[in-house]
Chain A
Amino acid sequence: MDQITFLTEILLPALMSGLVVTLQLIAVSAPFGLLLGIGVAVGRQYGGGILSPVCKVFVYLIKGTPLLLLLIILYFGLPSVGITFSAFTASVIGFILCNGAYNSEYIRGAILSIKDGQMVAAQALGMTRLQAIRNIILPQALIRAIPGLSNEFIYLIKYSSLAYMLTVIELSGAGKLVATKYFAYTETFMVVGLVYLALVTITTVAVNLLEKHVSVPGMIRGETSAMQL
């Protein structure tokens, strides 16, 4: 069989169905990862004596554990204590926990970069703490956190490949199956790699546009990108 037929009739259709699963994984994980990140960052910053340390320990544990080990615990470990997820659900939960923990660090950095006086002023105007966080602090902090958050989004695209280790046939998994069946490893994984490169590159361009779009004239661009992890 020649290369062209292999590429157009076998590899690309297989990768297409894999790509759909990869996009589903990302589309489900990313919004919840962002919400978890906001929640943990706010909890850590304003949570007081109990919530704040809990958030801190959560971030500490998730950042210290390899994502693959976390996924394996969720899928292969938890059934032994009676909790069973499908491979897809386990992957999504793992991605949300990991993405949320890292996002929270960027958001917390951005919250810290906003002066205390704004909180004091908001409360002096009669806002509750929660209102001030929601209407004054977070809108500014999230804009400043965009460079860091987009980095994490790109990591999420790449780490979604680990779902294959839990038997989810996403992009890398689809590639692995074709490569093994037709014994064409180099070609297959180069093409798989190019698809990931395309996803990452498109995201980078989109994020740059988004950043320009939401930037507030005169407000200093976030310095969070300097503290990349």
Chain B
Amino acid sequence: MDVLAILIDWAPYLLTGVLVTLGLVLSALGLGVVMGLPMALGQVYGSRPLRWIVGIYVWFFRGLPILVLLFLFYFGIFPGLGLGDVPAFVVGAVVLGLRGAAYQSQIFRGAIQSIGEGQMIAARSLGMSRLTAIRSIILPQSVRIALPGWSNEYPNILTDSAVCYAIGVAELLTRASQIVSQTHVTMPIYIATAGVFILLNYGGIRILHRLEKRIAIPGFGSGAV
């Protein structure tokens, strides 16, 4: 059978992997925001022990290779907590998310710290509580400043999601290697897979850039501060 026919035959199977890969990436990005933003606030405004804990968390998750984290959680921590039956997909998404939170917290922290301290003082002197000031004054600005840096997390998490192959999540790369062992067609399959990753990568970046433009306030942005 000729290579093109094989590629067309297996295309639906491979492309289902796109959904799995995007599922991994989007849940990791989401978990990263949900955890990373409070962590950043804790690191800037929190008490000394809290800052210390967040610092250790960030140090740990940024210092370990993604492969080691996946092995640690998939074979060690999840079964150790009695969650051995949790699907590999969930473990992959959680690990990518926990690690994403470490990176994203530093992006948010930088953005929060780039806002002049005077704004907090001014908000307090107008009678706002610290929490109100953070919510209404600091965050709306810092989230916009953080967005370009945050967008850079997308390609990082996308390429790292391929490492979930090591724990058998049925994402793009896993499916590609399954197809290779079924059909014995090697290079065309891998190159097609690389093509899909490249499309996802630069397509996603395009969409994020458009989003950045949409929520930007004219005259205010990472360049203006």
Contact = CB atoms under 8 A, between A and B. Distances in A.
B2 to A, nearest CB: 15
5 contacts: A60-B202, A189-B71, A189-B76, A193-B60, A229-B152
A70 B191 CA distance: 9
A176 B202 contact: no
Interface residues of A, number: 43
A68 B165 contact: yes
A70 B77 CA distance: 29
Contact of B68 (A68, A172, A201, A228): A172
A67 B66 CA distance: 12
A64 B162 CA distance: 12
A71 to B, nearest CB: 10
Interface string A166-205: 0000001001100100000111111011001100110000
Interface residues of B, number: 43
A161 interface: yes
Contacts of B173: 66, 68-69, 72
Contacts of B122: none
B159 interface: yes
A166 B159 CA distance: 17
A192 B65 CA distance: 10
Contact of A197 (B60, B163, B191, B193): B60
Interface of A is mostly: helix
A185 B190 contact: no
B192 to A, nearest CB: 11
Contact of A189 (B68, B79, B162, B186): B68
A76 interface: yes
Interface in A38-95: 60-61, 63-70, 72-73, 76-81
Given A68-B165, A69-B197, A172-B68, A186 B80 contact: yes
A165 interface: yes
Nearest to A76: B186
Interface string B137-164: 0000000000001001001101111110
B129 to A, nearest CB: 33
B197 A72 contact: no
Nearest to A193: B64
Given A73-B191, A73-B194, A158-B66, A64 B201 contact: yes
Interface of B: 59-60, 62-69, 71-72, 75-77, 79-80, 149, 152, 155-156, 158-163, 165-166, 173, 176-177, 180, 186-187, 190-191, 193-194, 197-198, 201-202
Contacts of A72: 173, 177, 190
Contacts of A32: none
Contacts of B156: 229
A69 B175 CA distance: 12
Contacts of B60: 193, 197
Contacts of B71: 172, 175-176, 179, 185, 189
Contacts of A196: 63-65, 68
Contacts of B152: 228-229
Interface centre among A69, A81, A188, A200 (most CB of B within 10 A): A69
Contacts of A79: 186
Contacts of B163: 66, 68, 162
A63 B197 contact: no
Contact of B75 (A70, A159, A179): A179
Nearest to B185: A80
The winner among B66, B156, B176 for most chain A CB atoms within 10 A is B66
Contacts of B186: 76-77, 79-80
B197 A192 contact: no
Contacts of A158: 63-66
Contacts of B201: 63-64
Of the listed residues A72, A179, A187, A228, the one surrounded by the most CB atoms of chain B closer than 10 A to its CB is: A72
